[in-house]
Amino acid sequence: MTAPAIYDHYRADDADVSDGIYRVVGTDDETVTLLRVADADGRRSNTGEIVTIHRDRLDGFVSAENPDGNRPVGAAVASQLRMVYWSVRAFVRQLAAHPLPAAVAGAFVLVGALGDHFFQLPEAALSASIIVGSLGLAYVGSGRL
């Protein structure tokens, strides 16, 4: 058997560990650390179950496909859309929690985007205003303020 690498997947054939598919999450000279990522039927699951075994015991495992690859396209898209929704929601809540810095950063973006209609500023200054404002919004929205 070849040396296991991080992110390799194996199906347990070992009576000492739960049935399922495991992902290699760590290796050293003598041991392999595995995270169970799917049940015995190959369905993705978030078990949090971690086992560390001696490399010799890995012979009791069979190479397996990544269970993340067997998700239906619709489920993957729906999951991504939910993630975008919650990310945007958290970002907006952070902006609302810090209205003054958010307003200042938003003003920079507005000046950069609409400033050529109201001010005689060079294009580079308008672009810099958009960049500074965008970075400000990202900072405020990240919750690090």
Give DSSP secondary structure letters for 43-77: -B-----EEEEEGGGGGGEEE---GGGGS-HHHHH
pLDDT in tens, 56-109: 888 888 888 888 766 677 877 888 899 999 999 999 999 999 999 999 999 999
Give the pLDDT of residue 71. 67
Total-model pTM: 0.53
Domain boundaries, the chain: 8-69, 73-142
